[in-house]
Structure 1
Amino acid sequence: MTTFSRKPLLTFQSFSLKILWIFFPILPKKPAENRDSLIYCIMLMFIKIFINHWIYRWSIQCDMGLTLSKIFMLYLSIMTISYIFDAQMIIVRIATQDKYTLESYTDSPILSLSLGEFWGQRYNRIVHKVLREAIFEPIRSELSSSNIAGFMTFIVSGLLHVHVCIAVFQNTSSAFPTFMFFIIHGIGCCLEKIMKIKFPKFIRWIITHIFILITSPLMFQPFIEKGSPFLMLNPPLFIDVEWTPKLPVPNFCPQ
């Protein structure tokens, strides 16, 4: 990724190591670091597996179109798909006797109390670190503006997601809605910093996730419109493994 910084470019070795870290973000575990216990991580991973697989099996039998129920199911599925990264982290911690760990993919994004917290601290933290180092920090240091740097980061992230969307679905019809999703969220994050309105935590949580759900059709529509055939061609990891308990799927489709 091209950086906006005027500082000297990285050496090829340093750049290669950064690329490698993106795919295998291993970190030394500091003795005093407050990390969740392995037992807790394993339990949380299984809970995510149960929920994710349950939603998947329910979704493939319910082609509901672009409805609020379908959006919520897909949203919950995305929030729990991180069990794949949890499994990798658990393996690394066990193999290294808890001396090393992996950078967590998410940090309970469902608990976010603001858009800034959702995108900046809890969701897709690996990509966040890359964009922060390559886009946000250089622009902020040049322009001395966190809002401009943050908005530019959302623009770049939107363009990356547009590329992925076109590559996956082989059409450009979803490019503009996908890009607008990130533009709207970039504006939302800027307004949060400018207005600095304080609400009780529960109200902030409700506002944040209602905003995400209301705007998510811009991002989720191409996935939902592909329906069950697309889901069946892209099953989640471990879906056919016998040792994973299967929660019963309701015999109705939510409206």
Structure 2
Amino acid sequence: MKNNKNLTEKGLKSTRNYFIKFLLLVLVIKIGDYRQSLHPDLLLALYSCHVYFSIEIVLAILAAPVLAIFGIETEPQFNEPYLATSLQDFWGKRWNLMATNILRPTIYIPIQNICKGMVGAECAKLAGVMATFLVSGLMHELIYFYVTHLLPTWEVMWYFVLQGVYTSIEIVVKKASSDRLQLRFMTIPFLLVTNRLFFAQIIRNGMESKLNEDYSVLVEFVKGAVPWSFSF
């Protein structure tokens, strides 16, 4: 009975969590309607929130039928990334966990093992980190090419190179710090600033307007699917 109770409480918490994020997504979309009047830095933050909320909600919608029909609870793909204490924590334990679980055994660990005998364990770890971010950058460039049908501008690749470099620096600094330096208040600002590179191609080609329209359709779908009404 205790286990069932814990599962129920976990489910209720999860439902409330997704509901709040859905409301925040609606708010972000509504604010985005006034993008012409907004400061570019605020727009950048909105795009970042838009991507996070929308992906997590879409994945939750896709996971719901699997749970209802087969009784299988899929693993969450995000672990409250806005609570990340460092870049290492953000990319390794909180953001897009499916990609992390794929890249860790296929790129990070093999590169680390290959380099360990040549440069030592610590440098091998950094080599694995950089290789993982480089592969992730190439994957995202491929996704952008598929979506936009435009030749790569490599801004997304540079974004992931920066993430790899600064994550590596962070690992070295944290290891050298006797008090295990906490970088919570630097992590999200750094990500928001470097997101200029990640969203540059989308903004330049006017894709954010199309994405906003698509997610407005998603919002209307969810509003019609839930057993209560909204008024926004």
TM over 0.5, shorter chain: yes
* Residue 83, structure 1, aligned to residue 61, structure 2: no
Which is worse superposed, 192-201 or 114-123? 192-201
Query: Structure 2 residue aligned with 1:115, among 87, 90, 93?
Result: 87
- Counterpart of 1:110, as a letter, is Y
SS in 1 for 2:191: helix
Q: Deviations over 1:152-211 (max 9, x none)?
A: 010010011111112212223x6321110000000011111111145775xx22201111
The C-alpha deviation readout for 1:109-163, integer Å capped at 9, x for no partner, is 0000100111000000001111112111111122121110110010010011111
Structure 1 residue 223: Cα displacement: 2.4
Give the aligned partner of residue 150 of structure 2: 171
Q: How far apart in 2 are the matches of 1:207 and 1:122?
A: 16
C-alpha spacing 1:123/1:64, structure 2 compared with 1 (3 Å): farther
Structure-2 residue corresponding to 1:192: 170
SS where residue 220 of structure 2 aligns?
Answer: coil
Pick one of 195, 200, 214 that aligns with 2:193.
214
Q: How many residue pairs get matched?
A: 212
State the one-letter code of the partner of 1:206: F
TM-score normalized by the length of structure 1: 0.73
Higher helix share: 2
CA distance 1:63–1:56, change in 2 (3 Å): same
2:181 & 2:201 partners in 1: Cα distance?
35
What letter corresponds to residue 125 of structure 2 in structure 1? S
Matches of 1:221 and 1:247 in 2, distance apart? 34
| Aligned match for 1:135, one of 107, 110, 132 | 107
Contact 1:151 1:187 in 2 (8 A): yes
Secondary structure at the aligned position of 1:238 is classed as helix
* Shift, 1:58, TM fit: 2.5
Aligned position for 1:252: none
**CA root-mean-square deviation:** 2.7
TM-score normalised according to structure 2 size: 0.80
* Offset at residue 104 of structure 1 (A): 1.0
Identity, % of aligned positions: 19
Match status 1:231 vs 2:211: yes
Please tell me whether the aligned partners of residues 41 and 86 of structure 1 are also in contact (alpha carbons under 8 angstroms): no
**For the Cα contact (< 8 Å) 2:84–2:184, is it kept in 1?**
yes
Paired with 1:239 and 1:133, the residues of 2 have a C-alpha distance of 36
**Local SS of the residue matching 2:165:** helix
Counterpart Cα distance in 1 of 2:80 and 2:231: 22
Considering Cα pairs closer than 8 Å and 6+ residues apart, tell me whether 1 or 2 has the greater RCO: 1
Give structure 1 stretches of 5+ with no counterpart: 1-30, 249-255
Counterpart in the other structure of 1:10 = none
Q: Give unpaired runs (5+ residues) of structure 2.
A: 117-123
Distance 1:247 1:113 in 2: 36
